[in-house]
Amino acid sequence: MWKKTMAVCMLLAVFVLSACGSRNTAEKQMRKQEQTEQEIEISLWTFPVGNWGNMTTISGLIAGFHREHPEIHVNVECLDYDSGDAKIQEAITNKTAPDLVFEGPERIVAGWGEQGLMADLSDLWNSQVAGGIYENIRKACQHSNGAYYEFPVCMTAHCMAINYDLFQKSGALAYIDEQTHTWTTQDFINAVHALTAYGQKRAGVIYCKNQGGDQGTRALVNNLYEGRFTDEAHSAYTVDSKENKKALKLLRKSEGISFEPNMTAADEIAAFCKGELAMAFCWNASMEITQTVNNPELDFEIFPMAFPTGGMEPSLQGGIWGFGVFDNGDEKRVEAAKTLIRYMTEQDDEYKRAVLTSMLWPVRDMYDIYENDALMTEYGGFMRYMGDYYQITPGWAQAREGWWKMLQKIGDGEDVDKAVREFSERVNGKE
């Protein structure tokens, strides 16, 4: 009798378990179906800011996000500065712009934001974390219409670099302050003379094939005699000043400095790392790390420098990078993009990883991020020289294009006063 009773109980148990199993399976299938219905796919295009241009590294960052948000799938494409702008413009024209882009306010705010292509991220700026972002960074991310088109991740102060070994051999090392990494305009002139006398005929080049790396040539020209690229109100371009024209004339007449319209910033960096140039005007901390890793044949000491000045403190071009969201007309994709931004910037661990990936500095206080890192400590000294972030001045896209084309004209022998005047009239709308 008891065997029969046990058999019945076992049968009932199997039935109950089967029923539970069937119910659990049904619930799982329902959840899976609901998740599938809620899944959304977005795209992120990144410019090569440190390792933000490395697909393997970015995939590692995104993997954590996918684990936390399996309903959102992020497709990543890494761009370069030579063709990236053209690719995005083509995508905009074809109405296939990415959902997110990782770049700076000069493109996101003053470029695509000015064209009305970006989503307003003001809600992201209401968080407690956003309240800790430095004021000058916040201002750079806000358009004149009040909308925030960028949420920042990292920043730096761009500098230049010299071939320390070559400077030492030529005697040019006597003209730099090694402790402060600064020098005067006269020091710069003397150093170029020493280099050319030593036999280094190409001390430095004014690369101007396109706009890539133009922060270097702008900073060089503006610092030599304390000129400005725009007014303080960011309402007009002031390249047509006696200080800037004096600087351009100095560079053109300097033996050892050449204007090269067929050379890009990337070409300049490559030539510098091969030892063909004594200095590079397009440089920053992440550049040294990347070039050191990628150029095992690099056999000289790279020494970072502020741009030479007429005696005042250097004013270095600030670089800010972060996320912008293209408004593709799909609110769900915009919200998914914002979810990724929150993940990358509001959690300290993930934010630290995002900043370290850039090989630059955080936009809010995070004091221990480069503790005991001698190289980053050295480059961190340039942050105090970070100047006005004027790249959000209206008409910025036209000004960038006009700048390298103006340099080409000057390099081809056109009168400096004429070339600068035409540039100024064009970008200030006075043609």
> pLDDT per residue over 52-79, tens digit each?
999 999 999 999 999 999 999 999 999 9
Asked if 354 and 153 count as a contact pair (C-beta separation under 8 A), the reply is yes
Structural fold of domain 159-315+395-428: D-Maltodextrin-Binding Protein; domain 2 (3.40.190)
Q: Report residue 3's pLDDT band, with 50, 70 and 90 as the boundaries.
A: very low
Nearest partner of 216 among 282, 304, 307, 287, judged by Cα: 282
Nearest partner of 172 among 186, 154, 151, 157, judged by Cα: 186
CA–CA gap between residue 249 and residue 414 (Å, rounded) = 11
Span 45-49, mean pLDDT?
A: 95
Which residues touch 50 (CB under 8 Å, ≥6 apart)? Answer: 154, 286, 289, 290, 357, 358, 359, 360
Residue 215 — φ and ψ, nearest 5°?
Answer: -60, -30
Q: What is the 3-state secondary structure (H, E, C) of 188-216?
A: HHHHHHHHHHHCCCCCEEEECCCCCCHHH
Span 320-344, mean pLDDT?
A: 98
Q: Report residue 295's pLDDT band, with 50, 70 and 90 as the boundaries.
A: confident
Look up residue 161 and give its amino acid: A
Nearest partner of 234 among 101, 387, 423, 119, judged by Cα: 387
What pLDDT is recorded for position 297?
Answer: 83
Q: Does the pLDDT of residue 26 top 70, yes or no?
A: no
Q: Report residue 158's pLDDT band, with 50, 70 and 90 as the boundaries.
A: very high
Is 40-157+318-384's fold the same as 159-315+395-428's?
yes
Average pLDDT of the chain, as a whole number: 91
Which residues touch 424 (CB under 8 Å, ≥6 apart)? Answer: 237, 238, 239, 240, 430
What pLDDT is recorded for position 27?
Answer: 52
Q: Does the pLDDT of residue 4 top 70, yes or no?
A: no
Q: Report residue 22's pLDDT band, with 50, 70 and 90 as the boundaries.
A: very low
Asked if 206 and 257 count as a contact pair (C-beta separation under 8 A), the reply is yes
What pLDDT is recorded for position 29?
Answer: 52
- pLDDT digit string, tens, across residues 72-131: 999 999 999 889 999 999 999 999 999 999 999 999 999 999 999 999 999 999 999 999
3-state secondary structure of 50: helix
DSSP state of 329: S
Angle between helices 55-68 and 331-346 (to 10 degrees): 100
3-state secondary structure of 327: coil
Q: Does the pLDDT of residue 10 top 90, yes or no?
A: no
With a pLDDT cut of 70, the percent of the chain lying above it is: 91
- pLDDT digit string, tens, across residues 406-418: 999 999 999 999 9
Strands 40-46, 72-78: pairing is: parallel
What pLDDT is recorded for position 431?
Answer: 60
CA–CA gap between residue 30 and residue 28 (Å, rounded) = 5
- pLDDT digit string, tens, across residues 375-400: 999 999 999 999 999 999 989 989 99
CA–CA gap between residue 49 and residue 81 (Å, rounded) = 10
- pLDDT digit string, tens, across residues 217-232: 999 999 999 999 999 9
Q: Which class in CATH covers the domain with range 40-157+318-384?
A: alpha beta
C-alpha distance from residue 40 to each of 29, 70, 100, 124, 281 (Å): 19, 9, 14, 20, 43
CA–CA gap between residue 74 and residue 62 (Å, rounded) = 7
3-state secondary structure of 257: strand
- pLDDT digit string, tens, across residues 297-330: 899 999 999 999 998 999 999 999 999 999 999 9
CA–CA gap between residue 270 and residue 275 (Å, rounded) = 9
Nearest partner of 421 among 261, 217, 244, judged by Cα: 244
Buried b (16+ CB within 10 A) or exposed e, 183-193: bbbebbbbbbb
CA atoms within 13 A on the CB side of 283: 28
Q: How far is CA 197 from the centre of its chain?
A: 37
Q: Does the pLDDT of residue 254 top 90, yes or no?
A: yes
CA–CA gap between residue 308 and residue 178 (Å, rounded) = 13
The domain ranges of the chain are 40-157+318-384, 159-315+395-428
Token reading at 411: 């390099």
Across 201-353, where does the E strand assignment appear? 204-207, 257-260, 279-283, 302-305, 318-325
